[in-house]
Amino acid sequence: MNKIRIGVISPSEIAFRRFMPAILNHDSFEYVGVAYPTSDEWDNASVSQLDLEINKAKDFMKEYGGNIYEGYKSVISDPSIDAIYLPLPPALHYKWAKLALENNKHVFLEKPSTTNEKDTLELVELANSKSLALHENYMFQYHNQIDLLKELIDTKEVGETRLIRTNFGFPKRLSNDFRYNKDLGGGALLDCGGYPLRLMSKLMEHDLEVIASKLVYNENDIDLFGSVMLTNSDVIGQVSFGMDNAYKCDIEVWGSNGTIYTGRVFTAPEGFETSIVINKNNQESTISVRGDDTFYKSIDKFYKCITDDNIRELEYKELLTQIRLVEEVRKEGK
């Protein structure tokens, strides 16, 4: 199979710092170029903002080579490109992912897929009708520690699982951060809240539903933090998240015979060795988990979605489960 030629929509920081080194290391992809927005593609953008995007695109070319495209539409319509990486703010995902799919491009989306269930469902249906990959980049789930956690739960290392509790939050960002902009899909639920919800789906699996939630909003109708209770009829899950909080990034599994705990469950950087602590009968043991490159592994999952029908269809289902849980949290939490 020929290499999959991929273009980048927006010279964003995560694209420059994380995506590009990973994609260049993957033998099945060929990086083609990056697009900056035209004035009609970025509403109310100032000349200085557009100039900054152009300069960032030039930095891409200096560092990684490839072409510079004037406008997102130009890279999407390029017939030589097979796939698009889309790291825009959440509220812009639907528009540009839909256009890319309509132009027969596979789409690698930064999380969340969209801001609501209706839009995600439409994208999934469009991708499915064209046998195109639509991959949401919750890359933390590909870390070795997640596989080990799942194995410890499934093999009943601490007995029957009673409760899984996970937290993810970070300190206040700059006021111009898109997370505080409702029009761009801001809010803690769509940002840090999506991580623990995705982890609960992976660990608790089938028939997962939200039974209670609470979101706390600021004066601009942006949810700053929240908590959720979930169940699959056998296990209770508790999720807390927030973007104006002290940093927290952990998970605890409470079983009938002990507990399992680990930190850095969502944000372990490339090569970072994590630890899983098991406590049974007041005896504590620690398992060291080797470092990993979760961005590379997420890109590899995207490749498998492109080349394997079954994996692609499972990804569609995961996308729909994730946005369904987000909608349930939003509905219950108001």
> What does the pLDDT read at residue 112?
97
| Token reading at 267 | 């944000």
Whole-number average pLDDT of the chain: 96
Give the pLDDT of residue 55.
97
What confidence score (pLDDT) does residue 1 get? 67
Rounded Cα distance between 136 and 298, Å, is 9
**Helix, strand or coil, per DSSP, at residue 162:** strand
Residue range 93-149, pLDDT digits in tens: 999 999 999 999 999 999 999 999 999 999 999 999 999 999 999 999 999 999 999
Is the pLDDT at 193 greater than 90, yes or no?
yes
Indicate whether 334 pLDDT > 90.
no
For 138, left (φ over 0), alpha (ψ -120 to 50), or beta? beta
**pLDDT single digits (tens) 211-237:** 999 999 999 999 999 999 999 989 999
Order the strands of the 83-86 sheet from edge to edge: 67-70, 29-36, 4-9, 83-86, 106-110, 134-137
pLDDT in tens, 50-89: 999 999 999 999 999 999 999 999 999 999 999 999 999 9
**Which amino acid type is present at position 213?**
S
pLDDT tens for residues 288-324? 999 999 999 999 999 999 999 999 999 999 999 999 9
Q: Residue 180: which residues within 8 A CB-CB, separation 6 or more?
A: 173, 186, 220, 222
pLDDT at 132: 98
Nearest to 307 by CA among 20, 29, 24: 29
Look up 111 and say whether it is catalytic. Answer: yes
pLDDT at 91 over 70: yes
Give the containing element (helix H, strand E) for 154: helix 144-154
Contacts of 228 (CB under 8 A, 6+ apart): 193, 196, 197, 210, 212, 213, 237, 238, 239, 240, 329, 332, 333
Candidate list 73, 105, 111, 301, residue with the active-site label: 111
